[in-house]
Amino acid sequence: MRVLAGALLGLLAREPLSGTELNQQLQHRLGAAWRAGHSQIYPELARLEGEGAVSHEVLPQPDRPAMKRYALTEQGLGRLRAWASEPGEVSAVRDELAVKTYSLWLVNPVAAAAVLAAHERHHARRLAFYEGLLAELERAWDAEGGALGSPLFASVALVRRGLGYEREYTEWCRWVRARLARAPTTPGAPA
C-alpha cells in the first residue's frame, strides 16, 4: 500500500472526513510524518473507494458547496491494520540543508550563519508548537486511562517523534552556528 493511502485511512479511522478536511488534517496532525497536496488526495480517495476501502455520502451544507464525507469501511480498517503491522523499510532522509552542510567549508561563515539561523528559527517554532500539543494530548490520554487502544496513544507517540526531531534539529543548528561564530575568517571561505 502507498504511504499516502495509509495516511488517509489512518485519519478516517478516527472520524469521517471530506477531501478538504483530510487535506487540512494531513497537514496538522500528520505534518511531522508526511505531506501531500489536495491534487494527490482526491485521486487517492477515488482509488480507495474503487477498492472498497472507503465509502462516501454527499453532505449538503447550508451556506457552502456540498462535500463528500468519506468513511472507512470494514475492509479499509482491515487493510489499515495489516499495513500498520508490516515491518517496512526505513525511510531515506532527504534534507537539502544537510546536503548544503557538506559544502559549508566553501561558504563565507557569516552568510552560512544566517542560513542556519533561519532554519533554527523554523525548527524552534515547530518545537514549541509540539511541546504545547504534547502536554495537551498527554493530559487527555491520562484522563482516559492511558490505554494503548486509544487514538490518543498514537497521537502522543507521533507528536513525540516530531518533538524529538525538531529539538534535535534546533540543537544541531545551534552547534553549527556556535562553530561558525568562533573564528572570523578562514582560508577557503572568501567574503
Give the footprint of DNA on this chain (CB under 7 A): 2-4, 18-21, 35-40, 42-43, 45-46, 60, 62-68, 92, 94
* Cβ proximity to DNA, 69 vs 179, nearer residue: 69
Cell numbers at residue 43, please? Answer: 485521486
Interaction of residue 96 with a copy of itself, rule CB under 8 A:
yes
How many residues touch a copy of itself (CB under 8 A)? 81
Q: In the chain, count H helices and then E strands.
A: 7, 3
**Smallest gap from residue 165 Cβ to a copy of itself (A):** 6
**Smallest gap from residue 170 Cβ to a copy of itself (A):** 10
Q: Which of 43, 81, 136, 144 binds a copy of itself (CB under 8 A)?
A: 81
Q: Which residues contact 101 (CB under 8 A, 6 or more apart)?
A: 176
**Smallest gap from residue 55 Cβ to a copy of itself (A):** 19
Q: Whole-angstrom Cα distance, residue 107 to residue 186?
A: 10
Give DSSP secondary structure letters for 22-87.
HHHHHHHHSTTT----HHHHHHHHHHHHHTTSEEEEEE--SSS--EEEEEE-HHHHHHHHHHHHS-
Q: Which of 18, 19, 23, 30 binds a copy of itself (CB under 8 A)?
A: 30
Query: Among a copy of itself, DNA, none, what binds residue 50 when CB lies within 5 to 8 Å by partner kind?
Result: none
Q: Which of 111, 135, 140, 178 binds a copy of itself (CB under 8 A)?
A: 111
Q: Which of 43, 66, 105, 135 binds a copy of itself (CB under 8 A)?
A: 105
Residue in 94, 84, 99 with CA at minimum distance from that of residue 1:
84
β partners of residue 57: 69
